[in-house]
Every structure is written in C-alpha cells, then in structure tokens.
Structure 1
Amino acid sequence: MKYLRQFGIILAVTCIGELFKYFIELPIPSSIYGLVLMLTLLKTGLIKVERVKDTGVFLIDIMPLMFIPAGVGLLLSWKQLKNMLLPVCVITIITTILVMIVSGKVTDYMIKRRKPNE
C-alpha cells in the first residue's frame, strides 16, 4: 500500500505538470514542469522525501527498461538513420564530452562553494 501511495503522489505531481503545460504555453515539456514542481515541493518540505523515496528508487532501478521501446524504434527506422549515421555519431560524441565537462565544472564549483560553510 505504501508503494501505491508514493506512486500516487508522483503521478499527481506529473499530472499537475501536464496541466502546467496546457495552461502555460511555452515550448517546455510537461515532464520538466513536473520535475521542477516536485523539486520545489521537496525543497519546501510540502512533500517529505520519505513519502516518495522508495517508489523513486524503484523507478530509477527499472529505468533501463524504459529505453527498450526507443531502441526498438531505432532498429525499425534503421534505413533512414544509416544515411546520417556519421553526423549523428559525431554530434553525440561532441555533446557527450561537452555535457561531461560542464557537469564536472558545475560539480567542482558546488563542492568548493559548500566547503567553507561546513
């Protein structure tokens, strides 16, 4: 029952994110609205982490399963993709490196910023 309640909370926040997407006409996916809303609710303490933690851990554990349909879609559209395989691979490698660099720099900044306060 605990998992159903936790999943219900996550689902409710996700649905509110969908409503935000409907009423706020910006080119932002509804999942981003839901994530920002969940972060806000967790940071303000309106939702305690313990109330969604177990289901959140479960959803993260099964996340690889969520990529199976996307992988099958890639296999089904191989004829269209093979013509642009080289540019897609180059772009993927470059953006992955850029994301790693930026993530590392932001993490370094946050660690240095936090140490004097501890």
Structure 2
Amino acid sequence: MLHTFGLLLGCQLLGEITARGFGFSIPGPVLGLSLLVLLLGAVPTLAGRLRPTTEVILTNLSFLFVPAGVGVIGNLAVLSQDGIALLVVLVLSTVLSMLASVATFIGVRYITERRTA
C-alpha cells in the first residue's frame, strides 16, 4: 500500500515540478493526474494494484475537506464583504458548466448517431 501511495504522490509531485519548472498555467495536480492516466494506459496491471490504496483514500476523502472548511472560516471577513458577488459567480459558473455539459453531450450524441447511421 505504501508503494502505491508513493506512486500517487510521485505523480502529483512530478506534475507540480513540471508546472512550476516550465511556468505552465495548468495546475501541477492536473499534470500529475495526466501522468497517472498515461501510466495506467501503459501498464494495465497497475490499476489492480492501485485499487486498494485508492479505495482507502476515497473512503476517507471527507477528512481532506476539513482544511478547506477551516480556510473558509478563516476568511469570513472576505465572505461578509464580497459574499453576494461570490454567490452570484458560484451560481453562474455552475449553470454555465451544466449548459456546457449538456451541449457537449448533445454534440457527442449527434456525432455518434451520424457515424452509426
């Protein structure tokens, strides 16, 4: 389990080093996750070995949100000052994300139906 956890952290670390080292605007964890996906594609047996570790992480995922909650409480002054604007942006970005998802689904369905017809 420690080896696979080390692999997960190693992918994230390499992503972070790459993002900061080359000045990419893509977050390091996104690059690390992309590296992990490439590794899983290259070594199919790796998924089975990672499964127990990832299940433990996912079952304890709620603990990872505690620091975020503490950060929100630590910035209550910002929330009280700009709370309405933040709420509007949050709602609008959620609606736009949902609309983009629907448009993507419709587009993919249209393309796949044209190919099968």
Q: TM range, normalised to the smaller chain? A: 0.7 to 0.9
Residue in structure 2 matched with residue 10 of structure 1 by the alignment: 8
Change (3 A) 1:108 1:31: same
Q: Tell me the TM-score normalised to structure 2 length.
A: 0.78
Q: Distance in 2 between matches of 1:105 and 1:63?
A: 31
Residue in structure 1 matched with residue 29 of structure 2 by the alignment: 31
Q: Tell me the TM-score normalised to structure 1 length.
A: 0.78
Identity %: 24
Change (3 A) 1:104 1:57: farther
Count of residue pairs brought into register by the alignment: 114
Consecutive unaligned residues of structure 1, counting only runs of 5 or more, are none
Q: Distance in 1 between matches of 2:9 and 2:50?
A: 11
Alignment of 1:84-103 (within 5 A): 84-103=82-101
Alignment of 1:63-74 (within 5 A): 63-74=61-72
Residue in structure 1 matched with residue 52 of structure 2 by the alignment: 54
Q: Distance in 2 between matches of 1:42 and 1:109?
A: 28
The one-letter amino acid paired with 2:74 is L
